[in-house]
């Protein structure tokens, strides 16, 4: 098999979509523990919400036709016949030319079909002056208007955010069946890589900062991170440790050894882990060209470049999509903002460039200031808050051009 046949960014996303399949192991979680899990089944509404007509404002329940023609200069007059208590049913129905006070969320009395906001009325010892007419249904939430019994409430594959949990709680649902969150294994490779707690570096040594940045991203996205340590540039030991870590996880991430140097064993080791093997080795992108993506016995394997900035950008770009697909999530909207670039940025046609940027605001306009530097420079990551994409056909962007910015999370 020939490796390092460069794919475009679009081809790479398409291959990820085709190759990576969701986990099929489902678990039941209490609602309070289900945040950011993905639903494994459709959920239908068990009840109407609301199951009674209620007011959306503080005001007076009325027959709308009794208010027609009311204005500041010619108010209408209605007789107050009591008020609705929260959590209780009205004590009587509304008759012609009558009004009943109802708080926000209160149950509407029979006979009423509108609510006039309290600021448009005046209570004169039981005589309500109405200074604005109301239309039928105004400020009224009807039975089942929010959720209707039997209708699809949440689809399989939905990420449970706080608002979805609230919708489930409104139905009295206390637990849900969700996709188990994947465990992500991480391995660093290279004779020059040493643990981060190494006190004094020998000449040529580098602390394993990529394990920290990638691990923080995995944890921040809500997945489980398993650190497999550092392996030297020894093919047999590399393969042994990678196989052991892959067996314990749902996705294996390897940093370093993805280029074509004489001691870069990653592509050979990854190919040996299981079928069908490597499906991407090389992406037309800067930084991060020597990226490896593979599938070993249905488990994705990601070979990241060793340079810190390259590793972070590639994992933001492709790693997150892979992890989301493992959970059964459809393509998610990118976390974008829009800003004007502060400088001309050249780019080579035929290659997608991702430029790190610093964001700042002036007079209500956001600006993106490019942070230039080589892919091995840690400082460029620290200074940046996001990145802009210059697509392969373009030769760059001009100063003042409005561009989408992908925010670092």
- 23's enclosing H/E stretch is none
Phi, psi of 193 (to 5 degrees): -85, 130
Residue 371 and residue 392 in contact, taking contact as beta carbons nearer than 8 Å = no
Q: How far is Cα 88 from Cα 288, in angstroms, rounded to an integer?
A: 64
pLDDT at 377: 66
Residues 6 or more apart in contact with residue 64 via CB below 8 angstroms:
113, 114, 133, 134, 135, 136, 137, 138
The answer for residues whose C-beta is within 8 angstroms of residue 401's C-beta and 6 or more apart is 340, 341
Q: Let me know how many helices (H) and strands (E) the chain has, helices first.
A: 8, 28
pLDDT for the residue 287: 86
**Segments making up each domain of the chain, as ranges:** 9-25+181-326, 26-48+155-179, 54-141, 336-407
> pLDDT, tens digit, for every residue of 355-408?
989 999 998 899 999 988 765 567 777 888 888 988 888 889 999 999 888 888
Give me the pLDDT at residue 176, please: 97
Q: List, for the chain, all residue ranges whose pLDDT scores fall below the cut of 50.
A: 1-2, 262
**Four-way CATH pick for 9-25+181-326: 3.40.50.2000, 1.10.150.170, 3.20.20.70, 3.40.980.10:** 3.40.980.10
Q: For the structural domain made of 336-407, what CATH number should be given?
A: 2.40.340.10
- At the top level of CATH, the class of 26-48+155-179 is alpha beta
pLDDT digits (tens, 9 = 90+) for 214-251: 999 999 998 999 999 999 888 899 999 999 999 999 99
Closest-CA residue to 169 (of 53, 264, 363, 30)? 30
Is the fold of 54-141 the same as that of 336-407? no
8 Å CB contact between 305 and 298: no
Q: Name which of 151, 162, 152 is nearest 37 in CA terms.
A: 162
pLDDT for position 372:
82
Q: What is the model's pLDDT at position 333?
A: 53
Burial class (CB in 10 A: 0-12, 13-18, 19+), 135: exposed
Considering the four listed CATH numbers 3.90.870.10, 3.40.640.10, 2.10.109.10, 2.170.190.11, the one that applies to the domain covering 54-141 is: 2.170.190.11
């Amino acid at each position: 098999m020939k490796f390092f046949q460069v794919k475009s960014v679009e081809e790479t996303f398409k291959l990820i979509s085709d190759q990576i399949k969701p986990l099929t192991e489902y678990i039941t979680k209490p609602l309070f523990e289900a945040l950011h899990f993905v639903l494994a089944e459709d959920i239908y509404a068990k009840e109407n919400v609301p199951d009674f007509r209620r007011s959306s404002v503080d005001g007076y329940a009325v027959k709308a036709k009794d208010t027609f023609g009311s204005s500041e200069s010619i108010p209408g007059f209605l007789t107050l016949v009591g008020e609705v208590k929260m959590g209780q049913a009205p004590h009587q129905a509304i008759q012609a030319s009558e009004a009943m006070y109802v708080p926000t969320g209160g149950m509407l009395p029979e006979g009423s079909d509108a609510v006039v906001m309290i600021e448009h009325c005046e209570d004169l010892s039981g005589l309500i002056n109405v200074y604005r007419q109301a239309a039928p249904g105004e400020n009224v939430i009807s039975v089942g208007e929010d959720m209707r019994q039997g209708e699809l409430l949440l689809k399989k594959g939905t990420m449970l955010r706080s608002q979805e949990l609230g919708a489930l709680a409104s139905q009295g649902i206390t637990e849900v069946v969700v996709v188990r969150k994947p465990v992500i294994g991480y391995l660093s490779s290279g004779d020059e890589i040493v643990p981060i707690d190494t006190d004094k570096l020998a000449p040529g040594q580098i602390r394993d900062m990529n394990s920290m940045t990638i691990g923080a991203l995995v944890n921040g996205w809500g997945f489980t991170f398993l650190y497999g340590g550092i392996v030297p540039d020894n093919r047999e030991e590399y393969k042994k440790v990678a196989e052991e870590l892959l067996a314990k996880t749902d996705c294996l991430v390897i940093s370093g050894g993805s280029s074509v140097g004489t001691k870069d064993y990653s592509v050979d080791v990854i190919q040996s882990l299981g079928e069908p093997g490597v499906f991407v080795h090389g992406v037309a992108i800067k930084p991060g060209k020597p990226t490896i993506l593979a599938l070993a016995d249905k488990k994705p394997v990601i070979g990241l470049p060793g340079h810190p900035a390259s590793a972070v950008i590639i994992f933001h770009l492709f790693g997150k999509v892979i992890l989301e697909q493992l959970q059964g999530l459809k393509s998610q909207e990118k976390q974008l903002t829009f800003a004007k670039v502060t400088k001309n940025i050249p780019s080579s046609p035929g290659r997608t460039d991702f430029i790190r940027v610093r964001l700042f605001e002036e007079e209500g306009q956001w600006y993106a200031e490019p942070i230039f530097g080589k892919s091995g420079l840690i400082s460029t990551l620290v200074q940046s808050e996001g990145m802009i994409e210059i697509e392969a056909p373009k030769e760059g962007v001009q100063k003042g051009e409005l561009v989408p910015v992908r925010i670092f999370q």
